[in-house]
Copies of this chain bind each other. A is one copy, B any other.
Amino acid sequence: MEQMPAFILVRPQMGENIGAAARAMLNFGLTDMRLVSPRDGWPNERAVALASGASAVLESARLADSIADAAEGCDVLFATTARPRDMTLPVHTPETAMAEARRSIVQGRRVGVLFGPERAGLENDDIARAQAVVTVPVNPQFASLNLAQCVLLMGYEWRRQAVETGAVPEDGPVMATLPEVERWAGHFEDRLEEAGFFFPDHKAAHMKRSLRNLWARMPLTRSDTQILHGALRQLVRRRD
């Protein structure tokens, strides 16, 4: 089977929209759907009714209760947002995002794309788990893409670039996988927590998010994360 990106619907609200997203995906040959805490539980009759011919996508959808769980096995995560937030993640168009996804997949890495709930979209904490943001370049005076349309456009771009290009694998260093980066970010955060860095309390969550976000943006190789773990262990060992 061709490797393909996983489309991860985060806290989707209406079953109908989940079904419509499944149809949108299957139009472009995508079948790896994952669901994080759908509002109305799972399975969902209305999703099945809407999906009709695409119900197999729903049946094989992986249900999870956190993004971390849903994205298990993904080395690269993109977060779709209606408008770029005040974050320092790189901002992709669907075109550049799917070009990058294809390069990653050709290199044997696994790619996930996060889609937020219908009304509010992804929260900052969700986005902080991604390495990059994807925003469809819509009319700034009228942006009204719904969930299935956003899924459709991402699926279309994936397929468009799959058909037209055979991306070439590059021989490069072995990049850190997403869990490896998260392990490093967690290690760094834990030691700073012990050192009393996250102060005052009301700023702690924001400070942690900024740091997670910082590491998520860095193109760390596996060997970089090993060096950083070692360096931090040494700084702390000396302290204790």
User: Which residues does A use to contact B, with CB under 8 Å?
Assistant: 23-24, 26-29, 52-54, 84, 88-93, 95-97, 100, 132, 136-139, 142-145, 149, 152-153, 156, 159-160, 163, 165-170, 173, 188, 191-192, 194-197, 207, 210-211, 214, 217-221, 223-224, 227-228, 230-232, 234-239
Contact = CB atoms under 8 A, between A and B. Distances in A.
Given A91-B168, A156-B153, A156-B156, A28 B139 contact: yes
Contact of A173 (B88, B100, B211, B221): B88
A228 to B, nearest CB: 8
Contacts of A236: 235, 239
Contact of A195 (B28, B207, B214, B234): B234
B191 A163 contact: no
A173 B85 CA distance: 12
B26 A197 contact: no
A53 to B, nearest CB: 6
Contact of A170 (B91, B152, B156, B228): B91
